Structure 1
Amino acid sequence: MRVGTVERLRRHPVKSMLGEELRAASVTERGIEGDRAYALLDVGSGLVVSAKHPRRWAGVLGFTAVTAPGGGVVITGPDGAVVDERGLSRRLGREVRLVDAPPQGASVERSVPEEVLARGPHAEVGFTVNELGRAAPPGTFFDFAPLHLLTTAALAAADGAAAERYRPNVLVRTSGAATGFVENAWVEGELVIGARLRLHIVTATPRCAVPTLAHGPGLPRSTAALRTLAERNRLVPLPGMPALPCAGVYARVLTPGRVAVGDPVVLLS
């Protein structure tokens, strides 16, 4: 059953930074080529830097990372100036290193969504420490799985929130009269995108503080980006987890392929 078409493609070469728009991309079992290829490592704590700890790292979302033509990555600050590790450390107020492989047992701190809603993303809130990539290939920086999909129907159900707040790799324009968080029904199913790419949808994507934060100069803070999900799409993503505000779905790659804007998206089961 055709459920939509690819509306937008995005990759984020450095974890928790703003990324780049694509017209087409190769997708392997490690996700979109070049996506989350790098991350910042907090030298003091040994943890991978993530905006999921907004009190410390919300400023990372002011930086933009793009893949360099000859390989590597170029990072620019909010003022458009190119920055290196030293510049990042100075601006972020902590010593960081740009790394292309996670340390053994790499983890991130994730704020508790209910406390974010009650106190605000920059207040002193509780955190959980989560190991990276439970459904992703080893040696990657993904929070859980290598691809994240979101639909235009879900964005409409979230009162028209900007897709960039939820950082999907693939934004799917839903077909026909589909409304609400339609991708919830894809969990445990398989999608084919374009001629070859085949995905297994693993789970709904739980949200934390990140959607509420400022994303560069164009998207100011918005607690509603999380509160609306808490009111309208609270799910238990995996056994043993509490009900959490969710938007979009995580996927792992069954058959690699190339994906382009305009490709059909077909639900197999």
Structure 2
Amino acid sequence: MLVGSIQEITRHPVKSFTGEQVKKTKVMDYGLYGDRSHAFKDKDGKFITITQVPDMVRYQASFSGAETLNAYPELKVKAPNGKVLNWGGAAFQEEMDLLLDREAEAVVYPPAHIPFGAIEEEHILLVSDASIGELTKLWGSEMDGRRFRHNLVLSLVNKTPFLEETWFGKRIIIGNGVELEIKRHCERCMIITVDPSDSHKDPSLLKTVVKQRNNHFGVYASVLRTGEIRLGDQVFLTD
């Protein structure tokens, strides 16, 4: 059954940095190509995220070049002041030392396999256009979708808000055969309170999600069949 199409594809090359919207990408067995492939860990081996350093969200990471399984394309990071830095370069390291303000290790997972744990919950996070629209109404303020750090936005044929939450245990097929299993709710945390544009915190959004949605927004999916997806690809629901 046709349920919609791909409206937006977003990957986050650096965990907790703002991601990049792309027109097409590979879906790997771990999720979107290069998603959360680069990250920082503290001295105890735990990921450093927006939770500890809200200003991480003000840095935007993007790949520049073709996707290959041997090596990632060049990774560029745009700082809040507009300066573009190369991952691993001296200027980048100096910027990160100031940003993180703690002992930190940069880690990079290979393109062919990112271990479960970098994304932490599941392979892919998706939401629908109808759900974003409804939550915007419930919150009563203009919504920046980047707060939710989703990978896919589906444009639904049936514009019923939160329709994707009725698909648990079912599969969706995208484009030329990419197959995902819809697993469960995404339970939200303080990260959605952080405005990606200036890192200002507004707890009212999380309070709204807790009160109106039982702290659920978006659904997790696991990859069953890999391939390539593009904007506009049709999405079919199957048992």
Residues 96 and 75 of structure 1, relative CA distance in 2, 3 Å threshold: farther
Match of 1:37 in 2: 37
Amino acid at match of 2:220: Y
Match of 2:126 in 1: 149
Match of 2:207 in 1: 227
Quote the offset at 1:7 in angstroms. 0.5
TM-score by length of 2: 0.85
CA distance in 1, matches of 2:122, 2:73: 24
Amino acid at match of 1:172: L
CA distance in 2, matches of 1:166, 1:139: 20
User: In terms of mean alpha carbon deviation, does 1-10 or 65-74 score higher?
Assistant: 65-74
Quote the offset at 1:168 in angstroms. 0.9
CA distance in 2, matches of 1:36, 1:168: 12
Match of 2:181 in 1: 200
Quote the offset at 1:96 in angstroms. 2.2
Amino acid at match of 2:135: A
- Cα deviations across residues 178-197 of structure 1 (Å, max 9, x unaligned)? 32211111111101111210
The count of residues paired between Structure 1 and Structure 2 equals 220
Maintained 8 Å contact 1:36/1:140: no
Quote the offset at 1:2 in angstroms. 1.6
Matched, 1:49 2:51: no
Quote the offset at 1:86 in angstroms. 2.9
Quote the offset at 1:220 in angstroms. 4.8
Amino acid at match of 2:237: L
Stretches (4+) displaced over 6 A: none
Residues 137 and 79 of structure 1, relative CA distance in 2, 3 Å threshold: closer
Quote the offset at 1:57 in angstroms. 1.2
Gapped regions of structure 2 (runs ≥ 5)? 66-71, 86-90, 138-142
Quote the offset at 1:153 in angstroms. 1.2
Maintained 8 Å contact 1:202/1:251: yes
**RMSD of aligned residue pairs (Cα, Å):** 2.1
Residues 214 and 188 of structure 1, relative CA distance in 2, 3 Å threshold: same
Matched, 1:165 2:147: yes
- Cα deviations across residues 185-225 of structure 1 (Å, max 9, x unaligned)? 111110111121000111111110111102134x8543333
Amino acid at match of 2:54: A
CA distance in 1, matches of 2:128, 2:40: 29
Quote the offset at 1:10 in angstroms. 0.6
TM-score by length of 1: 0.76
